[in-house]
Amino acid sequence: MQPSPSTDSAPLVRLSGVGKRFGNGTLALQGMTLDIGAQDFVSFLGPSGCGKSTALRLIAGLTSLSAGRMQWTAPQSSDAHSDRELGFVFQEPTLMPWAKVFDNVWLPLKLAGMGRDEAAPVVAQVLEMVGLSRFADVYPRELSGGMKMRVSIARALVTRPRLLLMDEPFAALDEMTRIKLNNDLLAIWREHRLSVVFVTHSVYESVYLSNRIVVMAPRPGRVVDEIRIDEPYPRGEAFRTSSRYNAHCMAVSDSLHGALNGIDIDH
């Protein structure tokens, strides 16, 4: 068994007092201070509008900071296939419908200038990681929702990022598919020594996956608590059905509801 990751080593990314105010005046995120450690699995948990996606997009560089600082503190890995340190998985798989699975996954490498032949073994490797080795030649429309999400994860991993950012990736999937993808994601995370930041509404999902849960509240979007889930990995059905898991879920739920007391939430 592997203990939960430690945050003692140098963080991968350090956020110091990070804030975001949009042009229309909305303060989407205020004063977020957080270290994301190498091999952390961090969840951002909270109701709609508490700034989870904004925080993720800030880390991804998809939107600019309006306050605070963000530092990447660790050196770049030598076997990365591009300068990008991170991969991003959206709630929708966002695949190109006219392109086969191989071409969808190749895309980030193609954009970085890598030809099909050179990319082929790399694409094959990530398709194997997500359990889709036999599906390189099919179109997205031939795949289930869970399989489309697997393609999306493969595409995010093809540049061998150290940080995987995931914005409610499994919210639209049925419960069984979600559990399977949770387990497979944990296996990929452990085997490839990634860091993951995972946005979710679900207390249960955050406790199952994470070693750290960042609890957030809205108006303005902000961090209200951080809870460590000091349970060993791998985590499987035995953990999911344990009294310890239940106790963690109750503690996280209490923290979330305590923070939201008196706040009128828009769903």
Q: Which residues of the chain form contacts with ligand ADP (CB under 6 A)? A: 22, 24, 26, 28, 46, 48-54, 221
Distance CA 206, CA 201 (A): 8
Q: In the bound complex, what is the minimum distance in angstroms from residue 197's beta carbon to ligand ADP?
A: 12
Q: In the bound complex, what is the minimum distance in angstroms from residue 21's beta carbon to ligand ADP?
A: 9
> Which lies closer to ligand ADP via its Cβ, residue 52 or residue 248?
52
Residue in the block written with tokens 């790399």: 122
In the numeric block, which tokens belong to residue 78?
A: 């030598």
> Which lies closer to ligand ADP via its Cβ, residue 147 or residue 214?
214
Q: How many helices (H) does the chain have, and how many strands (E)?
A: 8, 9
> Which lies closer to ligand ADP via its Cβ, residue 19 or residue 49?
49
DSSP annotation string for 154-216: HHHHTT--SEEEEESTTTTS-HHHHHHHHHHHHHHHHHTT-EEEEEES-HHHHHHH-SEEEEE
Q: In the bound complex, what is the minimum distance in angstroms from residue 125's beta carbon to ligand ADP?
A: 32
Q: In the bound complex, what is the minimum distance in angstroms from residue 208's beta carbon to ligand ADP?
A: 20
> Which lies closer to ligand ADP via its Cβ, residue 86 or residue 158?
86
Distance CA 13, CA 22 (A): 23
In the numeric block, which tokens belong to residue 97?
A: 């419908």
Q: In the bound complex, what is the minimum distance in angstroms from residue 122's beta carbon to ligand ADP?
A: 32
Which residues, in sequence order, are CB contacts of 250 under 8 Å at separation 6+? none
> Which lies closer to ligand ADP via its Cβ, residue 50 or residue 186?
50
